[in-house]
């Protein structure tokens, strides 16, 4: 299992690794999770022996591309390994190809050496969206941590740059595609949806104007279900209907609030 996550952690020979994986191409993934009214991102701890000490570093989850899979399959594989979830939304957003991107920090480079023979890896950046409540924590990989997306610690290699671009692309895409629903639970209240927008765009919206706009979206289905166990008027639950969205979307539609 662990060998799936980090190809070749000192166990497989580099020859066996090169037989299964393309050595010079990888996928790194900013996995965004929404939960507890916060947008979070999954980072992984790595223990790196260097100069007799063990360094602790953090990185985005990633993996090399297998010889028989395309990169979307690689991304889906990473999601499965890290979170236990399948059929999660993943999207490639940019390629990171600086010839020296792995040599910024010698400790990081030390982590790489036993894994691959190449000193240069081109990586395809993906972002991924999920609701943290859908994650079975017993299946969440060890050494993983959900960090607030507005306060990400220093990461290995160029992973801070990859994350920053992922976040920027996510905001951009959210205005044009129905991606909020990937972050929300299946049934959600309009206030939850509004709070999510406010979190991601770091702003606030007027409740009445927000609801008027949202009510025009035919693919937002009001359910005959309500919140329970809240000490205030229970809010109506809604769900997203992708079929109606596909039928009624127009070229020009956007999701700006």
Residue appearing with tokens 């497989």:
12
- Report what 67 binds from DNA, a copy of itself, none; CB cut-off 5-8 Å by kind: a copy of itself
Nearer to a copy of itself, 24 or 199 (CB): 24
Residue appearing with tokens 């969206």:
129
- Report what 145 binds from a copy of itself, DNA, none; CB cut-off 5-8 Å by kind: none
Tokens representing 220?
A: 């937002």
Q: Which of 42, 62, 124, 126 is nearest to 90 (CA)?
A: 126
Nearer to a copy of itself, 46 or 72 (CB): 72
Q: What is the CA radius of gyration of the chain?
A: 20
- Report what 207 binds from DNA, a copy of itself, none; CB cut-off 5-8 Å by kind: DNA
- 3-class DSSP string for the chain: CHHHHCCCCCCCCHHHHHHHEEEEEEEEEEEEEEECCEEEEEEEEEEEEECCEEEEEEECCEEEEECCCCHHHHHHHHHHHHHCCCCCEEEEEEEECCCCCCCCCHHHHHHHCCCCCCCCCEEEEEEEEEEHHHCCCCCCCCCEEEEECCCCCCCCCCHHHHHHHHHHHHHHHHCCCCCHHHHCCCCEEHHHHHHHHHHHHCCCCCHHHHHHHHHCCCCEEEEEEECCCCCCCCCEEEEECHHHHHHHCCCCCCCCC
Site for DNA, rule CB under 7 A: 189-191, 206-209, 211-213, 226, 228-236
How far from chain centre, in Å, is Cα 108?
Answer: 22
Nearer to DNA, 172 or 226 (CB): 226
Least distance (Å) from a copy of itself to the CB of residue 122? Answer: 6
- Report what 213 binds from a copy of itself, DNA, none; CB cut-off 5-8 Å by kind: DNA
- Report what 98 binds from DNA, a copy of itself, none; CB cut-off 5-8 Å by kind: a copy of itself
Least distance (Å) from DNA to the CB of residue 215? Answer: 8
Nearer to a copy of itself, 68 or 231 (CB): 68
- Report what 189 binds from DNA, a copy of itself, none; CB cut-off 5-8 Å by kind: DNA
- Report what 231 binds from DNA, a copy of itself, none; CB cut-off 5-8 Å by kind: DNA
Nearer to DNA, 85 or 193 (CB): 193
Site for a copy of itself, rule CB under 8 A: 22, 24-25, 65, 67-72, 92, 94-95, 97-99, 120, 122, 124, 172, 176, 252, 256
Least distance (Å) from DNA to the CB of residue 38? Answer: 16
Least distance (Å) from a copy of itself to the CB of residue 228? Answer: 38
Nearer to a copy of itself, 72 or 134 (CB): 72
């Amino acid at each position: 299992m662990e060998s799936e996550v980090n190809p070749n952690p000192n166990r497989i020979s580099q020859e066996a690794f090169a037989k299964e994986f393309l050595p010079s191409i990888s996928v790194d993934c900013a996995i965004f999770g929404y939960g507890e009214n916060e947008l979070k991102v999954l980072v992984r701890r790595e223990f790196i022996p260097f100069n007799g000490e063990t360094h602790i570093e953090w990185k985005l989850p990633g993996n090399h591309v297998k010889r028989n899979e395309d990169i979307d399959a690689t991304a889906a594989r990473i999601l499965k390994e890290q979170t236990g979830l399948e059929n999660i939304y993943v999207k490639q957003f940019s390629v990171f190809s600086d010839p020296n991107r792995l040599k910024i920090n010698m400790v990081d480079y030390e982590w790489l050496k036993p894994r691959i023979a190449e000193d240069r890896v081109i990586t395809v950046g993906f972002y991924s969206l999920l609701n943290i409540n859908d994650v079975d924590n017993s299946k969440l990989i060890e050494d993983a941590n959900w960090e607030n997306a507005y306060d990400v610690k220093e990461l290995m290699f160029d992973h801070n740059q990859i994350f920053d671009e992922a976040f920027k692309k996510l905001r951009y895409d959210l205005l044009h595609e129905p991606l909020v629903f990937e972050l929300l639970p299946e049934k959600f209240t309009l206030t939850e949806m509004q709070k999510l927008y406010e979190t991601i765009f770091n702003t606030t919206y007027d409740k009445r104007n927000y609801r008027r706009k949202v009510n025009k979206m035919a693919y937002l289905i009001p359910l005959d279900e309500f919140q329970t166990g809240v000490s205030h008027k229970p809010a109506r639950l809604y769900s997203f209907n992708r079929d109606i969205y596909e039928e009624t979307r127009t070229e020009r539609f956007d999701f700006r609030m």
